Amino acid sequence: MAVPDFLDTNIFVYAYDAATPGKQHIAQHLIRKAIGGLAITSSQTLAEFATVLLHNMPPRASAAQVVALLDALGPIRLDTQGSP
């Protein structure tokens, strides 16, 4: 049985951050694959991503923006076995 790819926090941060367009493009592609069911992540990873957006990444995202982003990521399957 094949193990799906696991997306960590960095993938989500790179997908959001326009400072490095090459990494952003690759990360966005990986997230599209995950939304299509070909990769997974964890609730901890999404919580870390939200924390980065709210506290560490200029400009800081609003709570409403973070909620909208997390809603858009909702189709991604979550790892229930623990991170690889």
41 within domain boundaries: yes
Does a structural domain hold residue 62? yes
**What is the domain range of residue 45?**
5-78
Asked if residue 83 belongs to a domain, the reply is no
Q: Per-residue pLDDT tens for 19-62?
A: 999 999 999 999 999 999 999 999 999 999 999 999 999 889 99
Domain count, the chain: 1
Question: Please, which pLDDT band fits residue 81 given cuts at 50, 70 and 90?
Answer: confident
Is the per-residue pLDDT at 84 higher than 70? no
Closest C-alpha to 81, from 44, 52, 49, 47: 44
**Confidence (pLDDT) at 51:** 97
Domain for residue 23, yes or no?
yes
Residue type, 32: R
For residue 3, the 8-state DSSP code is P
| Token pair of 10 as six digits | 């960095």
- Report CA dihedral (73, 67, 51, 15) to the nearest 10 degrees: 40
